[in-house]
Structure 1
Amino acid sequence: RKYGRLLYMAGTDALFPLANRAHVVAAKHGMHGLAKAVALECGPDGVTANSIAPGWLDTDRNAAWYPDLEKTYEHVRATVPLRTLGTAEDVANACLYLASDMGKFVTGHLLHVNGGEFMV
C-alpha cells in the first residue's frame, strides 16, 4: 500500500541514562535504534518509524512506585521548564500527530514529550 506508521515508546532513558537502570537504558536505546533502522529501510515504501519519549506524567501508577509522590511532583514542577507534569493525553496527542498525515515527513525521530525536561 506504500503507507505505514510505526511508533515505539522509547522513553527518555534512550538518551539520558540513570544509574541502576542499565537494563532499561539498553532496551529503550535499542528500541529507538530499531525505529531509526526501520525508518531507513522502509522509508522508500512510504512507511515512517518514530519513537516517543514521555517525561513525568501524572498517573495512578506513580503512586505505587513513589511513596513520597507529592515531594517528587513538587521537584518536577520546580525543575521542568513548563512547571507541570504531563498527562497520558499529551502522549496520545504526540502519537496522533506522528501517526497522521501531519507527520508524514517525520521519520527516524525521537520525540520528547516532557515539558522541556530534556532538550536535545
Structure 2
Amino acid sequence: MSLQGKHALVTGGSRGIGRAIAERLAHDGATVVLTYARDHAAAEDTVAGIEKKGGTAIALHAPFGSHGDADRLWQAYDEATGRAGVDIVVNNAGIGRSSDLEGLTEDEFDEVFAVNVRAPLFVVRGALPRLRDHGRVVNISSGVSRVAKPDIIAYAATKGALDNLTRNLAVALGPRGITVNSVAPGIIDTDVNAGWLRGNAEAEQWATSISALGRIGQPDDVAAVVAFLASEDGRWVSGGVVDATGASGL
C-alpha cells in the first residue's frame, strides 16, 4: 500500500504501538513526524531505525495534558516540515491505565481525559487548515471500550469517549472526503504491559486464552490495520471502530 508523497503525524510514536505505526507508515512511503512526551532517546532511536531502512522521519517533543499543547505541536510541525501540510493524523499518545473507583482521584480523572480525549480532539481541530482533502484520521482506542473494566474505570471511559468522538468527526469531515476511524487493540506485548505480562507464564497463558486467534498481539498487528485505513484501500471505511483485539473476550 503506497503512501509515497504523503505526510503523516503519529503522536506518541517513540515506543510500542506508536513506534510500530510510525515504522509501518514510513515503510509504505510516508514522511512521518512522530511525537514523544518524555523519552527523547527512544524517539531518536525510532527515527534512526526508520532512516536506516530508507524512510524519512522527524521526532518532535510534544507532551499533552495542558491547554494549548495541540497548537504548540502544530506550530512545531510547520517549522519542522516547512509547512508541508499533512495527509494522515494518528492519535496514539495516551495514558494507558487509571485507578479503580475507590482509588481514583479527581486530578487523575482530569489528567487521563485531558490526554486521551481532549488532546486528540484539538490535534484534529488544529490539523484542519493543514489536512488535505481525502486525508485520514486514525484514533487509537482500546478493546476495553466495549466491556466493563471497573479496575481502570477512567481509562476505559476515555476510550468510549474517543470512539464517540470518532463518529462525530467522521460526519464533520466527511464532506471533504476525510475518513476518521478508531482502531481498538486488545492486549499487546509492549512496555506498557511488560510489568505484568512478560515472563509471567500465568499471565501469558491467560492473555493467549482470551484471544480467538490463540496468541498475544504484537505492535505490528495494530500497525497493519492503521496502514490499511491510511491507504487508498481504506477510502470507504469511516466512522468505525475496527477491532484489533484478535477477537478477544467474545
Selected match of 2:225 from 84, 94, 97? 94
Q: Distance in 2 between matches of 1:41 and 1:34?
A: 10
Residues 100-119 of structure 1: matches in 2 within 5 Å? 100-119=231-250
Selected match of 2:153 from 22, 25, 34? 22
Q: Which moved more, 1:8-17 or 1:88-97?
A: 8-17
Asked if 1:60 corresponds to 2:222, the answer is no
Q: Distance in 1 between matches of 2:249 and 2:206?
A: 15
8 Å contact kept, 1:86–1:115: yes
Q: Which moved more, 1:69-78 or 1:23-32?
A: 69-78
1:98-118 Cα distance to aligned partner (Å, 9 max, x none): 111111000011011111114
Q: Distance in 2 between matches of 1:67 and 1:111?
A: 26
1:59-87 Cα distance to aligned partner (Å, 9 max, x none): 23322245873211101222311110111
- Alignment match, 2:180: 49
**4+ residue stretches of structure 1 with deviation over 3 A?**
65-68
- Alignment match, 1:8: 139
Report the structure number with the largest CA radius of gyration. 2
Asked if 1:31 corresponds to 2:158, the answer is no
8 Å contact kept, 1:9–1:52: yes
8 Å contact kept, 1:63–1:69: no
8 Å contact kept, 1:36–1:49: yes
With structure 1 as the length reference, what TM-score do the two structures score?
0.89
Q: Distance in 2 between matches of 1:16 and 1:41?
A: 27
With structure 2 as the length reference, what TM-score do the two structures score?
0.45
Gap change, CA 1:51 and 1:26, over 3 Å in 2: same
1:23-57 Cα distance to aligned partner (Å, 9 max, x none): 11221111111110000111111000000111111
Runs of 5+ in structure 1 lacking a partner? none
Runs of 5+ in structure 2 lacking a partner? 1-131
Asked if 1:69 corresponds to 2:197, the answer is no
- What's the secondary structure of 1:95's corresponding residue? helix
- Alignment match, 1:81: 212
Highest relative contact order (Cα 8 Å, sep 6+), 1 or 2?
1
